[in-house]
Amino acid sequence: MLATSPKEVSIKYTTVLPKECIDELKNLADKKVVPSVSQGIRLAIENFIDAQKQQEYINKMQEAMSDNDFIRRTMDTQNDFETIDEEGIWKW
């Protein structure tokens, strides 16, 4: 979910939603599933944005899987740290 802070700036924004969606949100607010219709809309938007960012990340990683230069650099870096990652005989 998107980070919120006490200094978060909120903007009033008017949008048009299907009546059925508002009715469902009112029902959820009446059942105390969400604090209010407004909060339900906010949560839905935050979840949508998070899902889109996650999909964007997945798409970029799929692109990277077919980028031979990226794979080579990643493997070179992994190999560079291979001996450092070994604990050896010394204990902390």
Q: List, for residues 8-65, the tens digit of each pLDDT value.
A: 898 999 999 999 999 999 999 999 999 999 999 999 999 999 999 999 999 999 998 8
- Assign residue 8 a region (left: φ > 0; alpha: ψ between -120 and 50; beta: otherwise): beta
**Within the chain, what is the greatest distance between any pair of CA atoms?**
68
Return the structure tokens found at 48.
């949508």
Q: How far apart are alpha carbons 24 and 16 in whole angstroms?
A: 15
Q: How far apart are alpha carbons 43 and 18 in whole angstroms?
A: 17
> Residue ranges per domain, the chain?
19-83
Return the structure tokens found at 56.
């964007």
With vertex at residue 63, the alpha carbon angle to CA 60 and CA 67, rounded to the nearest 5 degrees, is 130
Confidence of residue 3 (pLDDT cuts 50, 70, 90): low
pLDDT at residue 46 in the model: 96
Return the structure tokens found at 24.
């469902």
